Structure 1
Amino acid sequence: MFKAARSCGRPTIVTAVERRNLLRAAAVAPAAALIPTPALAYDASSKNGGRSDSASPRFALAVLPDTQYLFDADSADPAPLRETFDFLLRERGGEDNVAFMTHLGDVTEHGTEQEIALAGQTFKALDGKLPYSVLGGNHDVSGDDQRGSTPYLKTFGPSRFKHQPSFLGATADGYNSAHVFKAAGRQWLVLALDWRISDQGIAWAQGVLTAHPTLPAIVTTHDIAFADDNGQAYLSDNGRRLWDHLIKANDQVFLALGGHYWPPGRTVLKNDAGHDVHVHITNYQDRYYGGAAMIRLYHFDLERNRVDVETFAPWFLARDPARRTPLEAETIELTSDVNRFSLDVDFDERFAAFAPPALPKPRPAAQVVDRHTVAYWRFDQAGQSVADGAQVKDWTGKGNDLTVRRLANSTAETLTLAADHHEGAPAHASLKFDGGKNPDRGAILQTGPNAPVNSMKFLGGYTIELFMKLPDPYEGDHSWMGVFSWEGRSGDAGKHAGYSETETTCSMNVTGERFLQYNVYAQVGDVNPTAWSHALPTGVWQHVAIVNDGKRSVVWVDGSRIARNPSRITQGIATLGRPFTLGANSDNLSYGQGFYGWIGDVRISDRALKPSEFLPNGHFTS
């Protein structure tokens, strides 16, 4: 049966890194309807001992479309698929971190016992080693999922998967199945739906979603959409039925995948909640060697909020490049924008309606203060005021309270309290500064004249931490605005090696390019090593830490050490007994421009903290 209108010696092992280098160079149902098995994270070893890292924020979902021409009567050749499976098993514990594979139907050309048996034997390579799903396509079965027994059902039905820990269950007829795998620290649901699902099947699928309301879901089926020659996809009749009766009302479903048609294509639809659902067609049977078991990897990255997609043929990739034929070389990788692309997905935001992230609760000051804490300021105290003259408590009890003062040209709105905060901050509150220049305005918070921190030299080392966020949009000229500083002219401290003898002895500032600058005059010697960060993003909370071990200072942003940390010896801070200041930097003891953005908890310690001890990471145990 032909799909009208385009529907339907061991080779060298190549690692993921080698692959990428080469490719760069080459150009509603009752619960009883489920067959019960535990919804556990599948973490079995691959044939060479590899395991997927279910805690890593990066993993790959492998998508395998129509393999029918590899299982076609007496012209069958499963070799390409064997190579694809070998590749996936290697990458289960490799850089790609393959967590699950889903086949999109049309496993075989005619659905005969002979073809199905050969396919079933080939798929044994994955059994017990990599969790996967398979669904029936129109070349494997006919009619809808009420068709009764078939060779396909006997080989790829629930009996094949019932011992697989990722298998959640199937419809009573056996042609629709549900799978749960664990990756990136959470569980993901895959619905593998028959190419012509019945009303009973749709009700079952709805029941699965209802029973697992917090799991992000991927719908896979054989026939969901077709595309024009530009790669723009449109729902097919069957796809429209699935959309109208299942997908659009279930916000869990964020990705829907189908094969059957070519060329490949994609589109984005809005569901009833107004959220994006990505609909993709993947099928390469029209290409050389019936697509040669080409695989598509969806690389999920929950830190970067991206899904990077690539399409390639492991069978051709594993060949000696010098021995590849022109058609093999041409089909190694597909790089058009429907085969190699990236999706921006803010996973927390996209899944928030049905699976809101479990954010840390506020932590009391006692959990983040120890005997080495010099000062700790937070802005969530009941009745906290930010009017001029108001005080912010130092929670160490050591007398380093801050007093609020607005600069000239400032109003009440120049400094306000905010509930916005870094998710790892102990206090769920911050200060919002609206400082600027031309004319200068701002607000500062300063320690009193006799505060101990004013004169501390920190010869044995120190750590200064704070949370900060720059506004988005970032409007106006805010270059060289101060975040914090110790007041006092460097020249008065006998320091002459720096930019100006009227600048402060220690400060953190933000440049016009939004680089952090940490400039400090050491107590010992006439040196002022300066550290420079990368350009800080806007609209994002960040944790900043300056750590000095008594010899050198290192700046960390979000637990990552920045590159431009000077290597010169820097012992202590040349303080002059003048106030520690939050919200600005001074020149010649005068303040003008203030900080623009948010500042959360601030903590100063008289020792070098390890990253595991930083404010977002918990509390002190001693």
Structure 2
Amino acid sequence: MADNPLHGDVGRRTLLQAAFTVPATAALLGATGSEASARTSSTGGDDSRFTIAVLPDTQYLLDEGGSDAEPVRHTLRALLKRDDVVFLAHLGDVTEHGTEREMRTADAVFRTIDGRMPYSVLAGNHDIPGSTDDQRGSTPYSRTFPASRFARMKTFGGMEPKGYNSFHVVKAGGREWLVLALDWRVSDRGLAWAQRVIDDHRTLPVILTTHDLVSADSGRAELSAHGQRLWDGLIRRNDQVFLTLNGHYWPPGRTTLTNDHGNAVHLHITNYQDRYYGGAGMVRFYTFDLDRGVIDVETYSPWLLTRGDTVPETETARLTGDADRFSVEIDFRTRFAAFAPPVLPKPRPASAVLVKDTVAYWRFDAAGLPAAGADGQAVAPGSVARDLTGNGNDLTVQHLNANGAEVLTWSNEHHDTQPAHASLRFGGARNPDRGAILRAAETAPVNRMRFESGYTIETYLKLPEPFEGDHAFMGVLSWEGRSGDAGKTAGWSPEEPTCSLNVSGERFLQFVVYPVPTDADPTSWSHAIPTGRWTHVAVVNDGRRTTMYVDGAKIARNASEESKGISTLGKPFVIGATQFALRYGHGFYGWIGDTRIVSRALRPEQFLTAIR
């Protein structure tokens, strides 16, 4: 990795000079001018991270001809110890021959979790007469796992009349998930039943489990003959089905197909009966992380992890190959939007967020920017963004240098928690420098406030995806002027303004301020903020030190130096760029939403993100 330019004053000086210096012919501007890590659902307050356990083909361990059921029992006991596991799905071939004797063993094994953990079971070809479909009559399997066994589970939704197809509704991550457990061979009648279940739960994402769907025998995962039937007859036309899980074949594998709605469906095969000790109760964990937009998958045998004395045991206990340990990236909100659009907070009026000591509050809907129009419409120079506190800190639009209308447009994009459901899209760029700013009038009160008792500065921003071009140290907001004119000489440069929030080339947020009583420039640095996703930023000063929060989380690299107030010079406050040597270079590149300044330190629960 190249040297980090953020470490040390020399690197910072070099980059900032390059970022803010403009050609000598540039004129001095002296005139007036969805995604937080929302969770996938608005319902409930569940944790956004949970796990569904998957147990495949236990047949060699539940074989009356000679086997050992203890690894399966151990696995089930281990699942009970994990607080994050919300459901267990068995993929069929519970037993080797499906006899009464084997099913009695299976019954005893599963009593380990009966009443303690919800689960589904489905029939594999070894559990029932393999030449029959789901319309077969009673079998030892159906008598061992009847609807009455599952009826006590809160997740259980119902079973097809013949007893070989069932469904569960699992509540996790603030929403409900439909788990369909389908027989080894699904008949037309079974497909019709499954379709009715999906139709009755039109807003729920579906995880489909069955025994035979995908094979990886050829080295690449592909639909089996029966899998093709399920794909054509059920999966591809139902956009709710996003993940399928099956056993039966080995080795394990996975593939992704595109359904009739143009969305990805992830098809995974997991089966370890060919491994040491018949798979040793191997279980696969699908950990959903809704905030990160991934499903993290890992595979191991809880039983073997307690042993590990021999080579077969140690090499089988935990599997780390590409087919056994991986992550699936899913933008859950976007993937499920067609059938389960998120219910977002409604816009909040300015009066709802004008907390005590609010100095200024700007928003870019019709209430805050009367010139606001349709999404993508240009915001003309001279347009005014009103300070909704009534304190007189209105901002006026100016273009930097010679620019087209695209440098500032109105947008209906916004952070989920943002009071106003609108923002401004800034089209700033370098080489040649261009951009737009929203600038306070020369007489605006915010220009000369010094905030010696503390302050909170909040804004919402979003960087484009892809993040193209060189936008190093573009300004988000600042006060104009030179720190040197405030008598500050010990900081990085007397040519930089006395307070600014910027974005480095590495997408680190930089908040630099020159306090009132001291000759210093305490600077805070965030981590690299994401692209393509809204971010809330809050800078809080309690009269002694400054703390930056990103999406409500305190960053690590807050300035340790004492910091009291802001050495403002009576010059205009600006959104959209930062001066250097009294000149603007390029402007901000991305979206900026609601921005608020309060003349005291706020707690995180008082930020604009707080939904009351």
Same fold? TM cut 0.5: yes
Quote the residue 2:551 is aligned against: 558
Match of 2:288 among 290, 300, 305: 300
Single out whichever of 100-109 and 337-346 deviates more from structure 2: 337-346
Whether 2:355 is the aligned partner of 1:370: answer yes
Number of aligned residue pairs: 559
Query: What does 1:589-604 align with in structure 2 at a 5 Å threshold?
Result: 589-604=582-597
Question: Aligned partners of 1:54, 1:613: CA distance in 2, in Å?
Answer: 19
Distance 1:135 1:538, change over 3 A: same
Whether 2:227 is the aligned partner of 1:239: answer yes
Distance 1:361 1:600, change over 3 A: same
Quote the residue 1:47 is aligned against: none
Whether 2:481 is the aligned partner of 1:488: answer yes
Quote the residue 1:358 is aligned against: 343
Quote the residue 1:29 is aligned against: none
Match of 1:139 among 126, 130, 145: 126
Whether 2:176 is the aligned partner of 1:187: answer yes
Quote the residue 1:311 is aligned against: 299
Quote the residue 1:14 is aligned against: none
Quote the residue 2:540 is aligned against: 547
Whether 2:574 is the aligned partner of 1:581: answer yes
Question: Aligned partners of 2:178, 2:404: CA distance in 1, in Å?
Answer: 52
Whether 2:246 is the aligned partner of 1:258: answer yes
2:492 is aligned with what amino acid?
Y
Q: In the alignment, is the contact (CA less than 8 A) between 1:314 and 1:332 conserved in 2?
A: yes
Q: In the alignment, is the contact (CA less than 8 A) between 1:457 and 1:573 conserved in 2?
A: yes
Question: Aligned partners of 1:227, 1:593: CA distance in 2, in Å?
Answer: 53
Deviation digits for residues 100-147 of structure 1 (CA, Å, limit 9, x no counterpart) = 000011111111111101110110011111110001111111112222
Question: Aligned partners of 2:241, 2:45: CA distance in 1, in Å?
Answer: 21
Query: What does 1:444-523 align with in structure 2 at a 5 Å threshold?
Result: 444-523=437-516
Question: Aligned partners of 2:250, 2:186: CA distance in 1, in Å?
Answer: 21
Quote the residue 2:161 is aligned against: 172
- TM-superposed CA distance for 1:472, in Å, is 2.4
Quote the residue 2:376 is aligned against: none
Quote the residue 2:76 is aligned against: 85
- TM-superposed CA distance for 1:618, in Å, is 2.2
1:68 is aligned with what amino acid?
Q
Quote the residue 2:40 is aligned against: none
Alignment root-mean-square deviation, CA = 1.5
Q: Which runs of 5+ in 1 are unaligned?
A: 1-52
Single out whichever of 163-172 and 608-617 deviates more from structure 2: 608-617
Question: Aligned partners of 1:212, 1:444: CA distance in 2, in Å?
Answer: 48
Match of 2:50 among 59, 64, 72: 59
Query: What does 1:274-353 align with in structure 2 at a 5 Å threshold?
Result: 274-319=262-307, 321=308, 324-353=309-338
Query: What does 1:154-169 align with in structure 2 at a 5 Å threshold?
Result: 154-169=143-158
Quote the residue 2:529 is aligned against: 536
Residue aligned with 1:68, SS? coil
Quote the residue 1:7 is aligned against: none
Q: In the alignment, is the contact (CA less than 8 A) between 2:246 and 2:268 conserved in 1?
A: yes
Question: Aligned partners of 1:159, 1:419: CA distance in 2, in Å?
Answer: 51
Query: What does 1:599-610 align with in structure 2 at a 5 Å threshold?
Result: 599-610=592-603
- TM-superposed CA distance for 1:617, in Å, is 1.9
2:293 is aligned with what amino acid?
N
Single out whichever of 466-475 and 365-374 deviates more from structure 2: 466-475
Quote the residue 1:218 is aligned against: 207
Quote the residue 2:23 is aligned against: none
Residue aligned with 1:239, SS? helix
2:486 is aligned with what amino acid?
A
Deviation digits for residues 437-489 of structure 1 (CA, Å, limit 9, x no counterpart) = 33322222111122111111111111000111122232322222211111122
Q: In the alignment, is the contact (CA less than 8 A) between 1:99 and 1:131 conserved in 2?
A: yes
Among all aligned residue pairs of Structure 1 and Structure 2, give the percentage whose two residues are the same amino acid: 60
TM-score normalised to structure 2 length:
0.89
Quote the residue 2:403 is aligned against: 410
- Deviating 4+ runs (over 6 angstroms): none
- TM-superposed CA distance for 1:412, in Å, is 2.3
Whether 2:102 is the aligned partner of 1:109: answer no
- TM-superposed CA distance for 1:164, in Å, is 1.0
Q: Which runs of 5+ in 2 are unaligned?
A: 1-43, 373-378
Question: Aligned partners of 1:76, 1:616: CA distance in 2, in Å?
Answer: 57
- TM-superposed CA distance for 1:558, in Å, is 1.2
- TM-superposed CA distance for 1:229, in Å, is 5.1
Q: In the alignment, is the contact (CA less than 8 A) between 2:100 and 2:140 conserved in 1?
A: yes
- TM-superposed CA distance for 1:529, in Å, is 0.2
Residue aligned with 2:498, SS? strand
Question: Aligned partners of 2:214, 2:574: CA distance in 1, in Å?
Answer: 61
Q: In the alignment, is the contact (CA less than 8 A) between 1:368 and 1:618 conserved in 2?
A: no
- TM-superposed CA distance for 1:275, in Å, is 1.1
Q: In the alignment, is the contact (CA less than 8 A) between 2:492 and 2:521 conserved in 1?
A: no
Deviation digits for residues 295-326 of structure 1 (CA, Å, limit 9, x no counterpart) = 0111111111111111111111022x4xx121
Single out whichever of 446-455 and 570-579 deviates more from structure 2: 446-455
- TM-superposed CA distance for 1:77, in Å, is 1.5
Question: Aligned partners of 1:503, 1:260: CA distance in 2, in Å?
Answer: 67
2:322 is aligned with what amino acid?
D
Q: In the alignment, is the contact (CA less than 8 A) between 2:217 and 2:249 conserved in 1?
A: no
2:508 is aligned with what amino acid?
F
